[in-house]
Chains A and B, each alone.
Chain A
């Protein structure tokens, strides 16, 4: 099976084939099949929950593979979490058709964490610069200023001073 993976900023074509009790994994150098893919012999055993024990050549690694809500997969290797995207051909096409992330058009400003809106620094309809502070959210005794992702006009302003907000709550839109 062939998958298109994105890890960090790197794209890779990955081929995985069952081989008896093990798997053969080919990691190509880019998003296309190349001549010298990295080849790994992987023995994978499922443990409780999301945990897996991998023996890669002779290296023993504890992994956890957890699908996230954002479509990405979080993979814990040893003590580091790697966030990556893994798509087959069909999902890749769907994904490409849905358009790429871009800073053109209206941009949402979301609360990065659960907290309380302590100050709203702009009004609806205000002209703002990229990087200009819009809203201050407080959590754990620390104030965090949310900045405008682009230059434009505050087209929607949902944040209200004193309001409690959840992580990911839409606070404003800059168009």
Chain B
């Protein structure tokens, strides 16, 4: 069936991005908004808009009932969930179906299969997809010798991990068999004191792990293809910061192998629509292991769009209408070109331990010029609410080579000015300047290792940089002009409600004309 009106069950930049494609396709779009987002950009980018509740997400964007009521009210015939919020909620997908709405995403059964990590890995493993080898059960009391034999089997180095662990505690790398006993004792002790649970399991150690994911796309007619990879190893606390394609570590052979495996995993669960298989790639051996599948459009999809020339949201809508994929696998490689990198702009202050920085954006100036794409959910005058994710926009660039793409993103970031709130633009520039990033020789630990180098440099207390000198000169000239104006018109009462700037402008005009 032809979709005529799409309700976009999201906010911010992704709602804006989906609305753009709807408009290009002649499909009407419906925005939803919480009370905190009445004046948000995505509301103005859609043809219709419906309030779905108070600011907290669970009472608005996460309320299945309210979102479905908005769809009924506007007679929408389809729902695009974006990412986050309800996008991977199988109950929501099912409720859409029951309400007679086309859910632009995979069937709820496929979402459930991939939703729970351990279940997804088991399913993937059954389909012949490689997963990080390890014992699924903790080492039993008295089972140490057997565990050692198992470690030998999967091959050193291995990791010993607390079964109840998390956050990097209760973990130890064991490089060779003779370290095993001592390491096991230590991890057990740590696990007991940190989590009150001494159980430990074995997993093969992935050295210099890189996070590489494969974009897949499937239609309702058995068509299923991969569209290349995205390297997402530049992460801070599991939050992606910079993504690129192609990955500096992926060879054509590895790409083909990972692509094949990703398609296999998708087929195993009867997948439909856009999806992403996340892999861990061993930076030394280039072995790869399935992590999980994301059953939605990803934040970082623009880099894939840059290098394939596709509009993935258009494909999502066409597939949801029952259309066939316009490409076969053979069409993909000849159409992949150049290099794309994306940087995520967050309303946060890296200099103050990444403290969130919501508030009023007094001025936002976005980069332009060749090969630059901006996906933003805000503009000058927007309020960044404190209730939602701090990502305010994405800057993605394309160039013929990786080196040129880095230079282009660097240039585009320097044109990007956001005032009123603090953003991570300077931090992003610092990441692009990291020697290991430039070489493409990095893994998921890059930002943690470079944390000190990424902090703004402290002034040495003696010397000024050329930029500081210019700032001083500008401020001094500005202050002098202020003081001169004040001296020129000491008796003049400022007109009521006239701002100092308006007054300054008027005086300036007088001076110029006189």
Contact = CB atoms under 8 A, between A and B. Distances in A.
Interface of A: 1, 3, 5, 7-10, 12, 14, 16, 18, 23, 25, 27, 38, 40, 42, 44, 46, 49-50, 52, 54, 56, 59, 61, 63, 65-66, 73, 75-80, 82, 84, 86, 88, 112-116, 139-142, 144, 167
Contact of B477 (A16, A59, A82, A139): A16
Nearest to A41: B473
Q: Which of A23, A116, A142 has the most CB of B within 10 A?
A: A142
A141 to B, nearest CB: 7
Nearest to A65: B478
Contacts of A79: 413-417, 425-426
Given A9-B461, A80-B426, A140-B347, A86 B358 contact: no
30 contacts: A3-B476, A7-B468, A10-B459, A10-B462, A10-B463, A12-B472, A14-B472, A16-B479, A23-B473, A25-B477, A27-B472, A42-B473, A44-B477, A52-B474, A59-B470, A63-B470, A65-B478, A76-B419, A82-B471, A86-B475, A88-B479, A112-B352, A113-B359, A115-B358, A140-B347, A140-B387, A141-B389, A142-B354, A142-B356, A167-B359
B501 A50 contact: yes
Interface string B357-391: 11100000000000000000000000000111110
Contacts of A46: 508
B254 interface: no
A14 to B, nearest CB: 5
Contacts of B474: 42, 44, 52, 54, 63, 65, 75, 77
B355 A1 contact: no
Contact of A115 (B386, B458, B469): B386
A77 B390 CA distance: 26
Interface in B269-305: none
Given A54-B473, A65-B478, A76-B419, 5 more contacts: A1-B479, A7-B472, A59-B470, A77-B474, A144-B355
Interface of B: 347-348, 352, 354-359, 386-390, 413-417, 419, 425-426, 458-459, 461-464, 467-480, 483, 501, 508
Given A27-B473, A61-B470, A73 B358 contact: no
A86 B357 CA distance: 26
Nearest to B354: A142
Contacts of A3: 476, 479
A56 B413 contact: no
Q: Is the interface of A mostly helix, strand, loop or mixed?
A: strand
Contacts of B462: 10
Contacts of B464: 7, 10, 12, 27
Contacts of B476: 1, 3, 5, 14, 16, 25, 86
A87 B357 CA distance: 29
A113 to B, nearest CB: 6
Contacts of A139: 356, 358, 386
Given A114-B358, A167-B359, A80 B473 contact: no
Contacts of A144: 355-356
Contacts of B468: 7-8, 10, 82
A129 to B, nearest CB: 20
A7 to B, nearest CB: 5
Contacts of A77: 467, 470-471, 474
Contacts of B425: 79
B347 A63 contact: no
A1 B355 CA distance: 40
A59 B463 CA distance: 20
Contacts of A61: 470
Nearest to A74: B419
A167 B480 CA distance: 32
Contacts of B419: 66, 76
The 8 closest A-B pairs by CB, nearest first: A8-B459, A82-B471, A140-B356, A75-B471, A139-B386, A65-B478, A16-B476, A25-B473
Contact of A113 (B355, B458, B461, B477): B355
Nearest to B391: A140
Contacts of B478: 52, 65, 73
Contacts of B352: 112
